[in-house]
Structure 1
Amino acid sequence: MAERKPRSDATRNREAVLAAADTLFAQCESPEAVTMADIAAAAGVGKATLFRGFGDRTGLIHALYELRLAPVRLATEEGPPPLGPATPPIQRVPALLDAVLCFKLDHRHLALALEGTGGDSSPYQAAHYERWHSTLKTALDQIPGLADSDFTAHALLAATRADLVEYLVGQQRATRDQMRAQLAAFTARILDSRTPLA
């Protein structure tokens, strides 16, 4: 049996909802301030349409995050250097972290909203986190002399947490260039501290 395609109005509504949510998260003072009612009104649809299409606010945030992240993920999975898998790992690791940081800088409130949707479960068990951790750990595993790639991947990703990015940009007034340079320097120190192979 052929898979049913979504109706054109359903597709249109989904696109309108995602665009409206994107705009609201980009313009808000705090991601908690963006409600399903706000998104429905901005998209010109009823709240029931949102709940049918996304389940709840968390489902909508995940869908929007995945949509915005898709080009970056494609670049890490199939793309050319510096993000693609053919890149030497010693160059790929800082490029991956820079991509995560730039994404969170470009989508600060969306990233904050996503990282705040964990509920009772650990944010480290969320699919988006596990994907980044796995990609980074795989690259770290290929660097000779680097001990404990699992923990190192966690520690490096901690430097790109959305709440830290928000604090540094919003409270400390750090610039994009400063943050990228600081993360690159931190990553280089971690990678340069490798213990030599016996």
Structure 2
Amino acid sequence: MAEDRPRERADAARNRRAILDATRALLAEYGGEAITMDRVAAAAGVGKGTIFHRFGSRAGLLHELVAEPALALMNAVRDGPPPLGPGAEPGDRLLAYFGAMTELVVDNLELMVAYRSESPHPRSEEFHAFWAAHITALLAEARPDVDAEVVGALLLAPLGGEPAARMVRAGEADRLRAGVLALVEAVLRRP
């Protein structure tokens, strides 16, 4: 399906990429506090007005960065190969999803922390609703004896919380990965 938006000019595409790359670099080196429009503009080699024109605000810029890996994961869940994509058992898909979501959080931790400090972007709910529906559907199929909506929300919540951020910052990403998968496996086992 073709998009109805006009084709992006080459210089606009270069500026967009430079801004996103500069923001990622600042996040990686200095954390979310470093993300000011002045610093991003200087690092990207563009005017501050270019950033505001393109993204509207700091929240819009951060949303654009969050959207890239989130959309990639959504596409993999919808159309990718199993076990993340369709065609695998619901429990296997749930484990694959939580493995991939944990990786997304680990790889983008400072971005996620900065993003959560902003007012919600208008499209934020789109991602949250997709994850909730996906987890709920798989959990309802794998464990019809539990309240899949509540249990699914509880499974996802720790990835957005302070313990996950603290573990990643302390170099304990492997422990976080193992802990998340152990939690999901425990829920998938019937008592």
What TM-score does the superposition give when structure 1 sets the normalisation length? 0.85
| 1:174 Cα deviation from its structure 2 partner | 5.2
Contact kept in structure 1, 2:70 and 2:127, CA below 8 Å: no
Structure 1, gaps ≥5 residues long: none
Change (3 A) 1:176 1:192: same
- The amino acid that maps onto 1:112 is V
State the percentage of identical aligned residues: 32
How far residue 73 of structure 1 moved from its aligned partner, in angstroms, is 2.1
Q: 1:88 to 1:19 in 2, by over 3 A?
A: same
Partner amino acid for 1:9? D
Equivalent residues of 2:84, 2:97 under 8 A apart = yes
Q: Contact 1:108 / 1:162 at 8 angstroms: preserved in 2?
A: no
1:110 alignment partner in structure 2:
111
Quote the residue 1:26 is aligned against. 28
CA apart distance, 1:82: 1.6
Q: Which moved more, 1:161-170 or 1:184-193?
A: 161-170
CA distance in 2, matches of 1:152, 1:78: 25
The equivalent residue for 2:183 is 186
Deviation at 1:27, TM superposition (A): 1.5
Q: Unmatched 5+ residue regions in structure 2?
A: none
Counterpart position of 1:50: 51
Q: Distance in 2 between matches of 1:163 and 1:33?
A: 19
Equivalences, count: 186
CA distance in 1 between counterparts of 2:54 and 2:33 reads 21
CA contact (8 A) 2:32 2:110 kept: yes
- Matched position secondary structure for 1:130: helix
- Whole-angstrom CA distance in 1 between matches of 2:106 and 2:5: 38
Q: Using the alignment, how far apart are the partners of 1:147 and 1:70 within structure 2?
A: 29
CA RMSD after TM alignment = 2.0
1:20 corresponds to which letter in structure 2? A
1:11 aligned partner: 13
Amino acid aligned to 2:187: I
- Given that 2:26 and 2:34 are in contact with CA atoms closer than 8 Å, whether structure 1 keeps it comes out as no
